[in-house]
Structure 1
């Protein structure tokens, strides 16, 4: 009987832990930003984790790389502006 209770408690704890993981905010996807560092090491479209062109340029300096606009950001689905409720 005690083994069954412990097994049920263990499964409940695992289930609660997995639900807590679902409720936590998701990590930012590196493809959600408009600027990508592109070069021999990064490929195309490269690493697209830069919000500004200056951030990308600072990372690309000293490397055989350049910065370009993220095609997933440019040609992806258009985001709707938030609705204003009056």
Structure 2
């Protein structure tokens, strides 16, 4: 019984100690900037998905070690949301 309890506690501790990663791509914006700074800055690389167009992203990425890509999680083919009008009473 003590072994089973010890095994369960060990597995539980390992599962809770595993690092969790946040979602890399923000699905609200169609363009992401991939920033590379591992060699010089030591900060690794990351994605900044806060751009509404490729030219906007390229202007921000200019002069940096970065590239702009379309967000693979942005719903490009989703139908536009219709506005709902409420009737006044």
Between Structure 1 and Structure 2, the one with more helix by share is 1
Q: TM-score, normalised by structure 1?
A: 0.47
